[in-house]
Each structure stands twice: as structure tokens, then as C-alpha cells.
């Protein structure tokens, strides 16, 4: 699927994207819910770290070295950095850059991939769902005190996220 331009989050969608688009779950319970054979994609530092620490083998992690806009700390940073070869991309706040989307797409070609985002990774759950194979699971952080959102990637979730992405504005460049 991909995108040929950077995508900008319109003001009208900001409130809509604050609601959960999957099952709200405690991070610590997710490794028990998922099966070892599930293809899992984690978006966010705390979620990625928690799932790796919980023993899950993740296909793709997308992170920015920050949680709630604060550095995650050296110990967690070391775990995320060494999880898989890191590809660094630029993704400004309130955007989905073409560069980040392309990195997600190519990440699925590998058995295990890591994308370190300069900027913000929050919106990258959208292309992760759209590019992930049917049957995969995408987990993204919801404010830490609330846990994480677990999305089953299926035709319904892909249609929902395709509808959301169609409302983004394409950059002029």
C-alpha cells in the first residue's frame, strides 16, 4: 500500500485518534494472551520493552527513546537498541512520513526489525496495521497508567485504518 507523500494529521481527527482502536490490556498480560507463533508488532517504547521483557519474539518494534515525552532510561534503551538491527527514520509529530511508512513496509520483509524514530512514533500504528499480514497483532501504547491496545489485524481493522488514513492531508512536497 504505502504512501507517495508525507501525511499530515488534520485537526479534525485529533480527538478521534485518542480513543482505543482495539482491546485495552495491561502490558504485563499481553505475553500470556498471545501465542508464540503470533506475528507481533509493537509501537512505543514501553510496550516494546515490556513485551520483549515478557519473553515475546516481536517481528517489528517502532520506538523513539521516549515515553510520555521523557527519555526512557539507559537500561531500556540498551534492550531496544540490541533487539534487532536498527533503522533510523524521521517522523515529525502529527505526521506519518513516507520514510517511516517505507521502513515499516520493509521491516515486514525481515524476520525481526527495529525502527528508531526521530520525532514521534504514535501515529505509526496506522501504517503498521495496514502493512501487517492478516493474522498479525499490533500492540501500541496507551497512556502507561492505562496499558496498551491490542489489535487483531484482519479485514475489519484494515478497513477501519484505511478509512482513517484517507482523512489525512498529503504534504505539498
Q: Which three cell numbers stand for residue 148?
A: 496498551
**Helix, strand or coil for residue 150?**
strand
Q: How confident is the model at residue 145 (pLDDT cuts 50, 70, 90)?
A: low
pLDDT digits (tens, 9 = 90+) for 104-141: 999 999 999 999 999 999 999 999 999 999 999 999 98
pTM score of the predicted model: 0.94
pLDDT digits (tens, 9 = 90+) for 10-43: 999 998 888 889 999 988 888 888 877 789 999 9
CA distance 98 to 30: 30
Q: Which alpha helices (DSSP H) does 54-154 contain, by range?
A: 74-83, 98-107, 125-131
Q: Which three cell numbers stand for residue 147?
A: 496499558
Residue with cell 488534520: 10
β-pairing verdict for 60-63 and 113-119: parallel
pLDDT digits (tens, 9 = 90+) for 66-75: 877 787 888 9
CA distance 115 to 98: 14
Amino acid at each position: 500500500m504505502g504512501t507517495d507523500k508525507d501525511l499530515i494529521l488534520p485537526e479534525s481527527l485529533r480527538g478521534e485518534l485518542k480513543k482505543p482502536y482495539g482491546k485495552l490490556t495491561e502490558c504485563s498480560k499481553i505475553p500470556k494472551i498471545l501465542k508464540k507463533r503470533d506475528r507481533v508488532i509493537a509501537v512505543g517504547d514501553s510496550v516494546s520493552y515490556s513485551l520483549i521483557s515478557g519473553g515475546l519474539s516481536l517481528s517489528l518494534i517502532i520506538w523513539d527513546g521516549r515515553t510520555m515525552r521523557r527519555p526512557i532510561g539507559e537500561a531500556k534503551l540498551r534492550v531496544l537498541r540490541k533487539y534487532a538491527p536498527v533503522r533510523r527514520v524521521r517522523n515529525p509529530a502529527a505526521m506519518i512520513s513516507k520514510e517511516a511508512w517505507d521502513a515499516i513496509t520493509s521491516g515486514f520483509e525481515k524476520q525481526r526489525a527495529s525502527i528508531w524514530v526521530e520525532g514521534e512514533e504514535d501515529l505509526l500504528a496506522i501504517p503498521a496495521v495496514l502493512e501487517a499480514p492478516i493474522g498479525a497483532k499490533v500492540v501500541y501504547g496507551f497512556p502507561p497508567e492505562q496499558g496498551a491496545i491490542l489489535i487483531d489485524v484482519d479485514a475489519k481493522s484494515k478497513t477501519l485504518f484505511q478509512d482513517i488514513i484517507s482523512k489525512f492531508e498529503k504534504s505539498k512536497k
